[in-house]
Amino acid sequence: MRPFQYVRATDSAGAISAVARNPESKFLAGGTNLVDLMKMGSEHPAHLVDITRLPLAEIVERDGHIRIGAMARNSDTANSPLIRERYPVLTQALLSGASAQLRNMATVGGNLMQRTRCYYFYDPSFTECNKRTPGSGCSAKSGVNRIHAILGASEQCIAVHPSDMCVALAALDAIVQVEGPQGGRSIPFAEFHRLPGDKPSIDTTLKPNELITAVDLPALPFARRSTYIKVRDRNSYAFALVSVACVLDIGPDGKIRDARIALGGVAHKPWRVRAAEQSLVGKAPAEAAYRAAADMVVNGAKPYKDNGFKVELAKRIIVRALADTAALG
């Protein structure tokens, strides 16, 4: 690991100005991803601004929505009674990620910022990685690409976003609150992460020196009927091959009034297809409708040498998630 300077911030404004003073700076929260990347040599900030002491860890109800502070630990968020009761999909997603020890360290803001687990990105001995070194190429395209994207990839990068929590937040239409040198702003979750395009080194739409301060969950009474399913190579401490967050609103007439389907493990960001969700509205919960929606979600998928199985897997777990969610009381 290369030497770096370390400072601890006590308020958001101080953290933002400390990062803004040094272009080689990064915010340090739980460190469960950034420190790994620094040890591996994939990232080498000259200056770390520790934000773990900022008073941003509360999970509170505000005007009907829930605000989760960016420094809330993943374990605290997962086990919050507000989250467990109103947004079970988020609790299930969080508890399916990493290990208990990591969830006790990792923060909500850091989870949004975690980087792809593409093996080639993590290992600097592979010199071709456009995400790590823009313009160098992409080792995964011709290499082992079992865990890589089937949707939304580019010629420059076929990596996937690794988070479980973000898949649930996408289904819930969360809002990301950020503060920066020019003030605060709100970013709809669907616009927070970006597809790789011709700039795969940039994962999000954050502007320079902006700090995530909170994530807001909109009041969504029907989110009590929600499910997260994650398929992975082993049953704990593994990233998703494919995952799905599903939320259903079923009316008193037994017809679907609203549907949310977000996929993880398939693209550079959580993947939603609004037309597929809309296709379920007004229909009775039934397998034929689920299958049609699943086909729409993966329409246009482009698998690579080792990951063709993800297309059928995604379809099957969408159908299963919709059926399981509809069966909830």
On whether the CB atoms of residues 240 and 231 are closer than 8 A, the answer is yes
Can you tell me which of 96, 107, 130, 209 binds ligand SF4, judged by CB under 6 A?
Answer: 130
Residue with smaller CB distance to ligand SF4, 146 or 291: 146
Q: Which two tokens stand for residue 77?
A: 């968020």
Is residue 304 close enough to count as binding ligand SF4 by CB under 6 A? Answer: no
What are the structure tokens assigned to 300, written together? 């246009």
Which run of H or of E encompasses 115? none
Q: Which residue has the tokens 């006790």?
A: 104
- Counting contacts by CB under 6 A, is residue 116 touching ligand SF4? yes
Tokens of 35: 């420190």
Angle at alpha carbon of residue 235, lines to 34 and 104, rounded to 5°: 40
Asked if 158 interacts with ligand SF4 (CB under 6 A), we say yes
User: Is 94 or 150 the residue whose CB approaches ligand SF4 more closely?
Assistant: 150
Q: Which residue has the tokens 């968020």?
A: 77
Candidate segments 45-53, 124-132, 226-234, 280-288, binder of ligand SF4 by CB under 6 A:
124-132
Q: Does 114 bind ligand SF4 (CB under 6 A)?
A: no
Tell the smallest beta-carbon distance from residue 108 to ligand SF4 (Å).
24
Rg (CA), the chain: 20
Any contact of residue 140 with ligand SF4 (CB under 6 A)? yes
Segment lying near ligand SF4 (by CB under 6 A), choices 21-29, 156-164, 227-235, 246-254: 156-164
Output 93 or 157, the one with its CB closest to ligand SF4. 157
Q: C-alpha distances in angstroms, 97 versus 100, 174, 245?
A: 9, 19, 13
Q: Which of residues 188-227 bind ligand SF4 (CB under 6 A)?
A: 200
Answer yes or no whether residue 26 interacts with ligand SF4 by CB under 6 A: no
Taking CB under 6 A as the binding criterion, the range among 12-20, 129-137, 178-186, 254-262 that sits at the site for ligand SF4 is 129-137
Placement of tokens 């929600």 in the chain? 226
Say if CB 25 and CB 48 are below 8 A apart.
Answer: yes
Measured distance CA(86)–CA(141) in Å, rounded:
41
Site for ligand SF4, rule CB under 6 A: 116, 118, 120-121, 129-131, 138-140, 157-159, 200
